[in-house]
Structure 1
Amino acid sequence: MNNGDEPLTITLSVQDKDGNEKARATGFASVCLVYEQAYQEGDLLKVETDETGVFLDVTLDESLPPATLFFKENSLLFPLPSGERSESYAPAAFKGDTHRLMARTVPATTVGGLRNLSLNPYDHESNHSVFPHATANVVTRGEAAFAARSAIDGEIANDNHGFWPYTSWGINQDPEAALVLHFGRTVLVSRIVIFLRADFPHDAWWQSARLTMSDGWSTIADLTKSGEGQVIEFEPRLTQSLMFDQLIKADDPSPFPALTQLEAWGCEVDT
């Protein structure tokens, strides 16, 4: 596994809906692409490396935070949001006629430290190659603002609901709702921070939820009516995924509990 100790070829590109390249930049260990045109409907952004199993710090728009991503495969395709999907991002995101994309390798000394292993503002439903990645068995009305990716996009504003910055995972009032956070490799997790959506009295809340690791180990998180991050700590656990389910709603007239952010704090195993 290359963790930034050896030069890595990285390519950034803008593609149209048919996969034709509109712009491209390649670098060793780091690369920047400035695209001086407005994006068109159906355009995609691509981050590609010449190796798999590597970590890159990726920034695909100046309005989004950088994220340390694990490339289980050698490329990430990011469909540019349009229509109602664009409302899950900052109003300026991917707009205008000047865009700056960046990617660089992450030194082993950096990637091996304690960090939030769940942060990925560039996740989307079709992503199965770059991690972390979130999936869910239900989403409120199928709307992008309530998609699974909203729980790992880094946004913790939770005193309202709906579009950015108030994105959240909505469960469509389904008691069997479950969200799974996929890491794409084995990691060591020791702390979970849960931000419930707290648009009270519109929102309800869960009084408890189950957290389950890929080896079957689980723990019950007792939750309260609060917009603060609620911390669950345990002995470090090796896992490839984290499931958030068995959501027990508090006795409240509102039918709308939701999850604003699920942070999994830990470190890498193989660095």
Structure 2
Amino acid sequence: MSLHITLVHGQQQLQQSPSGTSAYLAFPHQYAEGDALQVTVDRVPAYVWVQMDAGLKPALLYVTKSPWVFTIPFNTEREWPYPDGAFLGRNHYAWARLAAPMEIKAQRNWSENSHDQHHDSGAYPHAAANAETRDEPAFYARNAIDGMLANEKHGNYPFQSWGIAGRDDAEFTLTLGHPVQIEELVIVLRADYPHDSHWTSITVAFSDGSDTVLHLQKTADPQHFAIAPRTITGLKLTHLVKDKDASTFPTLTELQVFGQAE
């Protein structure tokens, strides 16, 4: 198997790397709106490590579509989920490589994806929700799987989170894209108290048809829940029960799903 990276603007190819088990692309110009990085793998599905900007953590993706397209984000909002300087300036470096078998079989958090996009791009894990506060990137569902745990404030990076737009029927869906035997969930609530409220319980509906109820505390600390081992390809957080306090905003900073790929 091999892969390569291409920078495109619409149908125009701006630059392309050589093919190999790993590839990088160095681009000494400013990005323009509409630019995108494409990672082309000669056979999918495939497990691929990527880092499309130095400001993002590397991510292990399960890629089901080739090319996988990462659209360069531009900050047009009041609050922004990426670090200052990400995708800006004149010198850029992106890389990708095929994952090693030992990395695929390792016990790890299979929900983390710093490169998740608002739409389903064919690379997993992917987060989606039926409610996102004001439809703003700082409150997209993807923020709850980006690997960032800062939760004592809200809004701009590094305090991005999944906001539920005040809806009682809010649901969060995580698609792993491949079977994973899970054994632990970790919930990190946003804890900008007293601005924030919290959920006292959340129902987790797994893709295998089973479910479990998690009982949560009002804390800034990660909350760990042992799960009877089961193999899933995704899950949904539903029936989010808000605490009966005066605060308005229960919010999720991060969801972690620990297990082993099958």
Say whether the fold is shared (TM-score over 0.5). yes
Runs of 5+ unmatched residues, structure 2: none
TM-score, with normalisation over the residues of structure 1? 0.94
Amino acid at match of 1:261: E
TM-score, with normalisation over the residues of structure 2? 0.97
Give the distance between the partners of 1:86 and 1:65, measured in 2 at CA. Answer: 20
Aligned-pair identity in percent equals 35
For residues 64-143 of structure 1, what are the structure 2 equivalents within 5 Å? 64-82=56-74, 83-84=76-77, 87-143=80-136
Give the distance between the partners of 1:19 and 1:257, measured in 2 at CA. Answer: 43
- Kindly indicate whether the alpha-carbon contact (under 8 Å) linking 2:79 and 2:156 is maintained by their aligned counterparts in 1: no
For residues 134-153 of structure 1, what are the structure 2 equivalents within 5 Å? 134-153=127-146
Amino acid at match of 2:45: G
For residues 1-271 of structure 1, what are the structure 2 equivalents within 5 Å? 8-16=1-9, 18-82=10-74, 83-84=76-77, 87-269=80-262
Give RMSD over aligned pairs.
Answer: 1.2
Distance 1:128-1:85 versus aligned 2 partners, 3 A rule? farther
Deviations 1:133-160 (CA, angstroms, capped at 9, x unpaired): 0110010111111001011111110000
Runs of 5+ unmatched residues, structure 1: 1-7
Amino acid at match of 2:17: A
Give the distance between the partners of 2:217 and 2:193, measured in 1 at CA. Answer: 13
Distance 1:86-1:62 versus aligned 2 partners, 3 A rule? farther
Tell me by how many angstroms 1:128 deviates.
Answer: 3.4
* Number of aligned positions between the proteins: 261
- Kindly indicate whether the alpha-carbon contact (under 8 Å) linking 1:75 and 1:130 is maintained by their aligned counterparts in 2: no
Tell me by how many angstroms 1:86 deviates.
Answer: 8.0
Tell me by how many angstroms 1:119 deviates.
Answer: 0.8
Give the distance between the partners of 1:125 and 1:177, measured in 2 at CA. Answer: 17
Give the distance between the partners of 2:245 and 2:31, measured in 1 at CA. Answer: 45
- Kindly indicate whether the alpha-carbon contact (under 8 Å) linking 2:79 and 2:138 is maintained by their aligned counterparts in 1: no
Moved over 2 A (4+): none
